[in-house]
Chain A
C-alpha cells in the first residue's frame, strides 16, 4: 500500500515546479492590466486635451460671438466720439516703409476705448493667411484662455497706440494659434473692436523663452504682439509674432505720437 502511495506521489508534478509558472503568470497578468490601465489613461488624456477642450472652446466662442455682435451693434448705433488733437509742431515728413505719409497739419482724432472687464469678449482677430477668425477676451488667466485668445490687461488694447499683447493656445482649447508658425513678414492681421477695424502687418517673428517678458514691453507707434507655445505640443518656448499697425481709427494718432507732434492722451 505504501509503495502504491509513493508511486502515485511520484506521478504528481512537483509543487515547486507548478509554483513557478503560476507566479510568472500572475506577474504577466498584472503587467498586462497595468499596461491596459496606463493606455486607457493616456487615450483618455489625449481625448480630453485634443477633443473635449475644443468642444468647450467652441461653445465659449459661439456664446462670445453673440455678445460681441451685440456690443458692435451698439457701437454702430452710438459711435464713440473721438478726442480731437491739434499737432504742436510742424508737419511731419517721416514716412515709414509700406506706409503713406501722415499729414499732421490737420487735427488728429484719437479713439479711446475703456478697458473691458476681465474675462469678457471685446474684439475679434482675423488672420486670413491661417484662416483664423476668433473672438478675443480680456485677460490671460487660465479660464479666460480656455475661451479664446486673451489680451494682457497691462498692455494697451489692440487698436490703440503702444504694444498690445495677445496670447493664445497653440494645440488645445480650439488651438487658435496652431498655424501661427506659417506667418511671414508682410502678412496682414486685422483686429476689430468697438472703435473699428485696425490693420497690422507682420514685421518680426521670434522664438523666445517663456520668461522673456521684454517682448511685452511698450513700443513707440502701434503694435500687436501675438504669443503662443512653441513647438506644437510643448510649452518649452514661445512663438512671437510682432505686427505693426498700418491702418485703423488710431493710426494717425499713433503716427503723430511717433513723430512727436502730439502728446500722449489717456491712460
Chain B
C-alpha cells in the first residue's frame, strides 16, 4: 500500500483521493465478480 501510495502522482491530498477512488473501484469490481461467481453456486433456481 505504501509503495502504491508512493507511486501515485501529485501532492499528498491528491494521492489520498486517488487511493479512495481506487479502493471504491476495487470494491465495486469485487462485488461484481462475487455476484457473477455466485451465480455458479446458486442463481435463484429459475427455469429457462
Contact = CB atoms under 8 A, between A and B. Distances in A.
B30 A233 contact: no
A195 interface: no
A140 B44 contact: yes
Given A235-B39, A235-B40, A49 B45 contact: no
Contacts of A44: 30, 34
Given A234-B40, A235-B39, A235-B40, A229 B34 contact: no
A167 B48 CA distance: 12
Interface residues of B, number: 15
A235 B34 contact: no
A165 B47 contact: yes
A122 interface: no
B15 to A, nearest CB: 23
A74 B33 CA distance: 42
Nearest to B37: A45
Given A45-B34, A48-B34, A49-B34, A145 B44 contact: yes
Nearest to B30: A44
B10 interface: no
B39 A213 contact: no
Interface residues of A, number: 35
Interface string A212-237: 11011000000000011100011100
B40 A238 contact: no
Interface in A132-171: 140, 142, 145, 150, 152, 165, 167-171
A50 B37 CA distance: 13
A161 B39 CA distance: 32
B47 A238 contact: yes
Nearest to A165: B47
A145 B46 contact: yes
Contacts of A213: 47-48
Given A48-B34, A49-B34, A235 B47 contact: no
A227 B42 contact: no
B36 to A, nearest CB: 11
Nearest to A232: B42
Interface string B22-48: 000000001100100111111111111
A235 B41 contact: yes
A216 B40 CA distance: 22
Given A168-B45, A229-B45, 5 more contacts: A172-B42, A210-B47, A213-B48, A227-B46, A229-B41
Interface of A: 44-45, 48-49, 53, 140, 142, 145, 150, 152, 165, 167-173, 175, 177, 208, 210-213, 215-216, 227-229, 233-235, 238-239
Interface of B: 30-31, 34, 37-48
Sorted from nearest, which 3 A-B pairs have the closest CB atoms? A228-B45, A145-B44, A213-B48
